[in-house]
Each structure stands twice: as C-alpha cells, then as structure tokens.
Amino acid sequence: MKNITVVGVGYVGLVSGACFADLGNHVVCLDIDKKRVENLKQGILPIYEPGLEELVERNVKAGRLEFTTSYADALKTAEFVFIAVGTPSDVDGQADLRYVRMAAESIADAMDHSMIIVNKSTVPVGTGDWVADIIRNRRPDAPDFSVVSCPEFLREGAAISDFMNPDRNVLGSTDPDAAEKVAQLHLPLRSTIMITDLRTAEMIKYASNAFLATKISFINEISNICEALGADVSEVAYGMGLDRRIGPHFLNAGLGWGGSCFPKDVKALAFMAETEGRHPHLLHAVMDINADQRKAPIRKVKELLGGTLQGKKIGLLGLAFKPNTDDMRDAPSIDIARSLLREGASVRAYDPVAMDVARDSLPEVTMMKNAYDVAQNADALILVTEWNEFKNLDLQRVRDLMAEAVLVDGRNIYDPAQVRAIGFKYLAMGRGYNGEGVES
C-alpha cells in the first residue's frame, strides 16, 4: 500500500484517486472548493461517470479514500502527489496554468518530507520543468522531490475501465528512479509502461488527442463530400476501417468533437507550434472542419421545413457532448441550440443526465422530462447525442406526436429506409444513398 495525494477532485482527479484507492492504496483527494469537498464527504459527486459513485462509496467505507481542503493534512504522509487540476484554454488557445501554479506553490509551502510530484493534468510541453522551478524558487530549503509526467488517457463515460485496463501508461522524468517508482504504482494494471523524458511524455498526450480529433474531422469532411456525390459515409467508413493501417475507431461521421480534452488540447498544440515559429496548418483545418460541422443540422432542418425556422418548435435529443457523461464543455448542442434561437425557433431538449448542467449554458432552452415530451407538437427533431435510449425510441409514437414529422439524425443512428417508411422527412450526416435515392 502506498500513500497517495491527488490535488483536484474534478474529472481526472476523482477518477484517478478512486481507482488508486480501489487498488489498495491510501488516497487523500484535496480540493480548495470547500463545498465540493463537503459534498464528496456526504457521497455527492461533482460529475456523472458510470460506476464512479459506487467506487467512491466503497473505498470511503473501506477507509482507503478521504477528502480534504488542507494541504498540510493531505501531504502529511504522502509519498506521491498527483496534480490533477484544470488547464482550460485562454482566448488565444494557450493552456491556462494558474491552477497548476497554485497547486505547485501550495505543495511547496506544505511539504515537510521527500516526495514524488506527478503531473496528471494535461499541460504544455515543458510544464514539468516549470513546476520543479516553482517549488525550488518557493522553497529553496524544500525536501528532496522529483517531478514525473503521467498524462491521462481517460474517455469520459468509460473512465474507470480506461484507468483499470489502459492501452499504456506513459511516464516521463529526468529522474529515472522516480519514474520507476511511479511505474510500480501502475504494475497491478498489467499494462505496457513507457518511460521517457518529461517533455516527450507531455507531447505524447497532445499528439494522441490531436490525432484522434483529426480522424473525426477527416471523416466529417468525407461525410460532406459523400452528400455531394451520392455516397454513404457509413459504408465508406466501414470499408476504410477494414484496412488495418486505418482501423475503424473514430470514423463515425456526426456533429464533431467536443468535451474537455480535444478542443483545448488541439488549440494548445497549435499555439505551442506557432510560438516556436511553426505553421500547424493541419491542426487549424481540423478545428475549422469541426466548427463547420455544427452548422450542418441547421441547414438540414431548414431545408426540410421549407427554408425558415421562424416560429418553429425544434426539439433536441441529447445535450452532453457524448453519451454516458453530463459534460457540456464545448458540446455541439450549445452551438446548435443558439443557432436555432437566432433563427427565430423555440427550442426544447431532453438529455438523460446533462440537463441540470446544461441549464446554465442554455437558459432559453426548455428542458423536458423525456424524448416523447420533446416530440409533442414539435416541427422537427435533431438527434444530437447518441444515448442508447434514443436508439430504442418508439419512432411511430414520436412521429404521431409531432406537428411535422421532420428528423435530422446528427449521429447516423437510425436506418434511413425504416425511418422514412414510418413517414418522417429524414436527413442524416453524409448518407448520400439510403435505399430511396440520394439524400440531398
């Protein structure tokens, strides 16, 4: 058993802390947000993640997981201190490191014995060296410490599984002994462990997310070409994915990527490149395609409603940026809803878990109790998030409830021929041929 402190109880910190505790370690999770910590002590989580509530409850009861706002208490016996605070984007795309700085300074003030400080937050290349300098400058007499980069690769909605069954764990440090000790923490996961230098480890995280975002933007670009030429992007993606050099993952045409990672990481990588005098044309194209993709459902619903949205009632099925999360950060639904409102439409929506979070971003959108209430007297529906419950809707009932049977499938989850047979006017994303001719 090791003594671990995790600074930050947001998405990455809480999942990592709970999982390390479940592996048999003693973990103290620290956050400066008193209300959040008090809620956690009462079993109220700040995020929705499948299985996390049960994981936290089990390890709190076992005495392996604690929560505090005190650095002195959190670091009292810590051997490893994971920094897992937010690094949001500035206006220009640069990662905002104020919370990392605050954490490093607070660690420096409170540390009274040697420890290993692990950067779990997604941070710009060079941040590991910067954190070490902050601590040394703050506490010239500080006990011995080392800094290790350990980037996270957790998918929202599957984070516990990703932590416990990772493709790899990447560690970077200028201190090989410290990196090896962090590697020992991860041995129970039986994954490939890659040890490299600090800056390379930090870059692996950015390069990985940028590549995945590129695959999504690429298939969405192909989707738009498919519409113009009469091909079906779903079949195109399947055919591409059979090539082992390409693979099937992240080739689902839709409304683009959002969330807490891809948007800020692609921006931050482009910013770093430009700061060094490089020209990241591909990264900018990836971002531009993603932004354009959110305009597609507006064009489609206008086409099916005769060219205007003024006075129309439009329903959104799904709000979170992806299923199995309540994360609304950079969610396509925000841009889509705001565009509909600007066009003069009234907007109602339903999401299984994200509506409470969404209300702050979309105060003019009426939140409904279920998908059928959204459909009641609606002129059109836009499928935004591919929750499983939407895949199993009684579409005949939905069609009967609507004023006009217009459906725009932003995630290609329905069979075009079946939906049209029910009586819908239906458009999807890039499905040029659909059993009844060309889509558009």
Q: Which residues contact residue 378 at a Cβ distance below 8 angstroms, ignoring those fewer than 6 apart? A: 313, 314, 315, 348, 401, 402, 403, 404
By three-state DSSP, how is residue 71 classified?
helix
Measured CA to CA, the distance from residue 123 to residue 128 in angstroms comes to 8
367/373 Cα distance (integer angstroms)? 10
Residues 366 and 307: beta-carbon distance below 8 Å: no
Please report, as a single letter, which amino acid is at residue 271: F
Q: How far apart are CA 113 and CA 72, in angstroms?
A: 12
Known active-site residue 261: yes
Cβ–Cβ < 8 Å for 428, 416: yes
Q: How many residues does the chain have?
A: 440
**Which is the catalytic residue, given 19, 29, 226, 261?**
261
Q: Is 91 exposed, middle or buried (0-12, 13-18, 19+ CB in 10 A)?
A: exposed
Q: Distance (Å, rounded) from C-alpha 35 to C-alpha 168?
A: 35
Query: What DSSP element (H or E) covers 332?
Result: helix 332-342
Other C-beta atoms lying within 10 Å of the C-beta of residue 102: 15
Q: What is the DSSP letter of 155?
A: P
Residue 143 — φ and ψ, nearest 5°?
-60, 165
Could you identify the residue written with the tokens 């990588």? 269
Q: Is 366 exposed, middle or buried (0-12, 13-18, 19+ CB in 10 A)?
A: middle
CB 66 within 8 A of CB 76: no
* Residues noted as catalytic: 261
